[in-house]
Amino acid sequence: MTGELKSTLDLVMEKLKGVEKELPGITQGQKERIAEIRRKYEAKIAETKILSTDKEKLGPEIVKLEEKREEEIAKVYRGIS
């Protein structure tokens, strides 16, 4: 049984072997747009953390910004933006 157990890393690596073939190639312009989106939302999140006076609302606000960021990035991948 000692040779049969696999680490989590081994299992993940096995699952990821074919993933890069499935992902569409993205252009340099798309990479730049994604980086721009990430910078924009990181700045918004930092600003929200600094200016937030209600710590209870901080978490949901950050989650909302992260979701918007991921939506914009997904649009870039789909070629919409």
Q: Could you report the per-residue pLDDT of 13-58, keeping only the tens digit for each? A: 777 666 555 556 788 999 999 999 999 999 999 999 999 988 888 9
Predicted pLDDT at 29: 93
Q: Is residue 37 part of a domain?
A: yes
Predicted pLDDT at 1: 43
Cβ(48)–Cβ(62) below 8 Å:
yes
Q: Is residue 3 part of a domain?
A: no
Q: Is residue 40 part of a domain?
A: yes
Query: Computed from CA positions of residues 20, 69, 64, 61, in that sequence, does the dihedral angle turn out positive or negative?
Result: positive
Q: Is residue 14 part of a domain?
A: no
Question: How many independent structural domains does the chain possess?
Answer: 1
Predicted pLDDT at 79: 85
Q: Is residue 58 part of a domain?
A: yes
Whether residue 5 is predicted with pLDDT greater than 50 in this model: the reply is: yes
| Residue that has been written with the tokens 């924009």 in this structure | 40
Predicted pLDDT at 64: 96
Helix residue spans in the chain (DSSP H): 8-16, 19-22, 28-51, 55-78
Domain span including residue 69: 26-78
Q: Is residue 51 part of a domain?
A: yes
Cβ(52)–Cβ(61) below 8 Å:
yes
Q: Is residue 68 part of a domain?
A: yes
